[in-house]
Structure 1
Amino acid sequence: MARIAFITGATSGIGQATATLFAQAGIDLILCGRRQDRLDALNQSFSNTVKVLTLCFDVRDREAINAQVSALPSEWKNIDILVNNAGNAHGLGTLADGDTDDWDQMLDGNVKGLLYVSKAIIPLMLENKQGHIVNISSIAGKETYVNGVVYCASKSAVETISQGMRLELTQKGIKITNIAPGAVETEFSMVRFKGDADRAGQVYQGFEPLQPEDIADAILYAVNAPKHVTIADLTILAGAQSAATTIHRS
């Protein structure tokens, strides 16, 4: 029987790349995102290879998450893998001049959203006495940088949540993997700079950044590890990157 993966933020970047590799590996997909048109396109792309179910919700909406997970058909409730990928970065600024709406977006999405989805899915894994949760953190969760304190705090929280999940769930047969990517070329910077394509493009100039597929490959590796092996924590940097904000550009 094929495994089932529940992926948040599946409509772009790391989430979409992970869905692609999982489909190639024969893993059935529950794809979650906020953009129904993109979910429909992914369903069409993958449905000839694996079974696909799409759920349209915002991870910040606790009621929508609970309603949609509760309404899953019985054949989709045997979730083997949860990839908590959905998240965002909004703006750059000091605490003194930061936009509090940006703070809410990051804390609600990166922290509370991950918790809401996990709380909905973990009982299903406990019932099955097995599962694997992959949380997408960031190098920013391990190193704080100027003008990104709230984003870094949100990703540091993901690191702590991953550790706590591992303490609580390992004995229940549920593996926890925390993956902390460095500079990945996705829609991340477009969101952070609120659609300013020129500014977003400058983030990736002068070096070869990671691609979403690089992180997806690591996720697939982690979930395919033997039962006696847990990839607990994995930091992945671009070849030219030595720290969160230290990138050697040509």
Structure 2
Amino acid sequence: MTSPTPSTGPVAVVTGASSGIGAATARALAGAGYHVVLGARRVERLEQVAAECGGTAVALDVTDDASVAAFVAQVPRCDVLVNNAGGAKGTDAVADADLEDWRWMYETNVLGTVRVTKALLPALLASGDGQVITIGSTAAREAYQGGAGYNAAKFGVAALSRVLRLELLGQPVRVSEIDPGMVQTDFSLVRFKGDQEKADAVYRGVDALTADDVAETVRWVATRPSHVNIDQVLMMPRDQVSAKVVHRTEA
């Protein structure tokens, strides 16, 4: 743990915060006045990000019940929860599905989001003005070839977010879903299991979104007046109009 979580002042929890969108979001929310509790498995990187933004680093594996319970025990207050932990593995067609990859995607994206949200809902309600912001994907809105397993997981995350919005109607908790398109992070490197050439090819010739672009959107959503709920945001780079329709500049 980098620094103690304050007992007063607004607190934001960000999962998957050791790099990419999660790390950028932690910095953006810290700049907006939140004390940020950062959770991820890569503790050394997590502590570096926490030190940069004055936050608290706590080890978190969203696929493990005990890890989530231990994490939440160190979060005495939660005003904003950013469910960012997730990812894709592979591009298999349904006929060739690697069930272990599919299981990892479902556990990380869907059940991981459920575990953390369920565990922190009491604190979010107790805050009197809580907010759940879930980072989804264009894959939650559009099925595409090569996306079967990830589509299935992210459609599930979108359904979870939208049902939670219904369930919390009348309660002091807002629920928002942010669905980015192409963001140049380590996402594709994970998807292609460390194949840097394949990962680089995804973004070649495209002026893609950055992690900071998405983080700024999270910050904006989180700082709207309490009576304003930004239900859904779909954001893509100018060079992208759908999952597979992308303009590439020739090198």
TM-score w.r.t. length of structure 1: 0.94
Structure 1 residues 110-129: aligned runs within 5 Å: 110-129=109-128
Secondary structure in 2 aligned to 1:83?
Answer: strand
CA contact (8 A) 2:92 2:149 kept: no
5+ residue gaps, structure 1, are: none
Aligned to 1:57: 60
Tell me the distance in 2 between the aligned counterparts of 1:128 and 1:40. Answer: 26
Tell me the distance in 2 between the aligned counterparts of 1:145 and 1:106. Answer: 16
Structure 1 residues 91-110: aligned runs within 5 Å: 91-110=90-109
Higher mean displacement: 107-116 or 129-138: 129-138
One-letter code aligned to 1:146? Q
Secondary structure in 1 aligned to 2:46?
Answer: helix
CA contact (8 A) 1:80 1:130 kept: yes
Structure 1 residues 1-250: aligned runs within 5 Å: 2-47=9-54, 52-69=55-72, 71-72=73-74, 76-250=75-249
Tell me the distance in 2 between the aligned counterparts of 1:241 and 1:136. Answer: 18
Tell me the distance in 2 between the aligned counterparts of 1:10 and 1:240. Answer: 27
CA contact (8 A) 1:93 1:148 kept: yes
- State the number of aligned residues: 242
Tell me the distance in 2 between the aligned counterparts of 1:39 and 1:103. Answer: 26
One-letter code aligned to 1:88? G
TM-score w.r.t. length of structure 2: 0.93
Tell me the distance in 1 between the aligned counterparts of 2:212 and 2:80. Answer: 18
Tell me the distance in 1 between the aligned counterparts of 2:201 and 2:127. Answer: 47
Secondary structure in 2 aligned to 1:6?
Answer: strand
Q: CA deviation at 1:137?
A: 0.8
Tell me the distance in 2 between the aligned counterparts of 1:25 and 1:14. Answer: 16
CA contact (8 A) 2:26 2:36 kept: yes
TM-superposition CA deviations, 1:49-74 (whole Å, max 9, x none): xxx221112110112101331x22xx
Superposition misfits of 4+ residues, deviation over 3 angstroms: none
Secondary structure in 1 aligned to 2:94?
Answer: coil
Secondary structure in 1 aligned to 2:77?
Answer: coil
Tell me the distance in 1 between the aligned counterparts of 2:96 and 2:158. Answer: 26
Tell me the distance in 1 between the aligned counterparts of 2:212 and 2:125. Answer: 30
Report sequence identity in percent: 38
One-letter code aligned to 1:66? A
